[in-house]
Amino acid sequence: MVISNKHVSRRAVLRGIGATVALPFLDAMLPARRVFAGAAAPRKLRFVALEMVHGSAGSTPIGIQKNLWAPAAAGNGFDLSASVLSPLEPLRGDVTIVSNIDVRNAEAFTAPEIGGDHFRSSAVFLTQSHPKQTQGSDLHAGISLDQIFASKHGQETPIPSMQLCIENVDQSGGCSYGYSCAYTDSISWASPSQPLPMIRDPRVVFDQLFGVGATPAERRERRAEDRSILDWLGASVNRLKKDLGAADRARLDEYLQDVREIERRIQKVEAYNTSGEPRELPGAPIGVPDSFTDHVKLMFDLQALAFASDLTRVFAFKLGRDASNRVYPESGFKGAFHSASHHQEKEDRILDFAKINKYHVSLVPYFLEKLKNTPDGDGASVLDNAVIVYGSPMGDSNVHNHKRVPLFVAGHAGGALKGNMHVKAADGTPMANAMLTVAHALGLEMASFGDSTGELDLNAAAPVSTDKG
């Protein structure tokens, strides 16, 4: 740990036997000359992509009429009461809703591709590229936006990027309609031919973030004794606290309590899943909660801690797997997800599907609030310096189209995004235009992305032409 004149390095860590815990932002990390001069540090931007499959009830003709996704009014005077986005109302100042956009590259281009929408869509979400139809190793899509960002900023952090998921995505070989399961299983592509594996088990994520240097034997010993990684860090914590002010000591204690609480929750899940009690997800790793809500929140908590300690600045989080028939009783509807998405355009069934959509969206404010309450220096929060994209590459899932797909963006990208905005795009606008704008807000110099035709102004309410000329 590097400490000089009571100044703490942003790269300082707490070390113990088999454990390494990076620090959150502390006032002691600000150089004295900057404190006295009032100079602002360069913004450290973060990017999170959240993909949910099966489109939205709001993408149907009835859903558009009833404003089930996009509110009626563009601009900042929109009303979310009828929308599945209503759980975002308390955070509307941090949210930009984007509507009337299409993902043409997820459509079938040739006759053999017809019907394969579920098996290529996820590969399009962050690449905005049309996947090659193959069940072999000759995969081809595009480089995903999270990996473009990671290639520029990933070397500034211990972990360049992380890819997480909720559903089982470790299938191999061919799926259906001539597509490799690799297209269905990942949203992150390091190159057009290299999809990245996604981590489903919160324990694996925790160990990657905080168990650096631990051997498998040390981890087994810690778990067998029901010990916390913090038990190995007492001396390191005490040394650091001697050089911290009262506010920093309190912030450090709160951060370490968060680490311990997440660790306890993982241990509790593992204890139940190895107790012999029947599981709802018998094939899932022992660290995976049966509850969708608990699983998603654990993953959100881990991401928030990683951002707080600057372990990584990039996450891709796949919240579902196409054609999944998981049931979400917390939504108020007991039907299976994929089956519900094929609602036959019947109003009552569309409204049932909307309950699932609303439930999924309702988990996101938990994450946004955490980021909003995490200091990031110079009076800003992590949410101020982040971009979180939530959406689906499918629109009306009943007919497997990719028009009027759901999308919203949260965070302010260091001031580049205003928030409290509903942007209704001109007819035919590619989702890639919104993604290109996000890339520019993140400081990436890109002339185009996927099938983009130009930027989509995410700070303006009026429809924007997609014509470059």
Nearest to 180 by CA among 195, 190, 166, 165: 195
Q: Which amino acid is at 81?
A: S
139-166 per-position pLDDT tens digit? 999 999 999 999 999 989 999 999 999 9
Instruction: For residue 426, give the H/E element and its range.
Output: strand 421-430
Buried b (16+ CB within 10 A) or exposed e, 329-368: eebebebebbebbebeeeeebbbbbbbbbbbbbbbbbebb
What would the mean pLDDT of 218-229 be, rounded to a whole number?
A: 69
Alpha helices in 216-314 (DSSP H): 216-224, 234-241, 246-273, 292-308
Phi, psi values for residue 76, rounded to 5° = -110, 10
Tell me the residue length of the chain: 469
What class has domain 45-200+288-469? alpha beta
Looking at residue 142, the DSSP 8-state letter turns out to be: -
Q: Write down the pLDDT at residue 340.
A: 97
Beta-bridged to residue 318, according to DSSP, are 51, 165
437-456 per-position pLDDT tens digit? 999 999 999 999 999 999 99
* Range of lowest pLDDT (7-11, 31-35, 228-232, 268-272): 31-35
Residue 466's pLDDT band (cuts 50, 70, 90)? very low
Instruction: Give the up-direction half-sphere exposure of residue 262: CA atoms within 13 A in the CB hemisphere.
Output: 27
Q: Write down the pLDDT at residue 222.
A: 63
Terminal-to-terminal C-alpha distance of the chain: 55
Bridge pairing between strands 189-191 and 162-165: unpaired
Neighbours of 188 (CB within 10 A): 30
State the span(s) of the chain assigned CATH 3.40.720.10: 45-200+288-469
Between CA 30 and CA 221 the distance in angstroms is 38
- 377 Cβ partners below 8 Å, 6+ apart? 25, 29, 30, 41
* Range of lowest pLDDT (21-25, 339-343, 356-360, 398-402): 21-25
More confident residue, 287 or 461: 287
Q: Are the C-beta atoms of residues 17 and 386 closer than 8 Å to each other?
A: no
Buried b (16+ CB within 10 A) or exposed e, 112-125: ebeebbbbbbbbbb
- Cα dihedral sign, 67-69-71-72: negative
* pLDDT above 50: residue 37: no
Q: Write down the pLDDT at residue 226.
A: 65
Residue 43's pLDDT band (cuts 50, 70, 90)? confident
* pLDDT above 80: residue 462: no
Enter the pTM of the model: 0.93
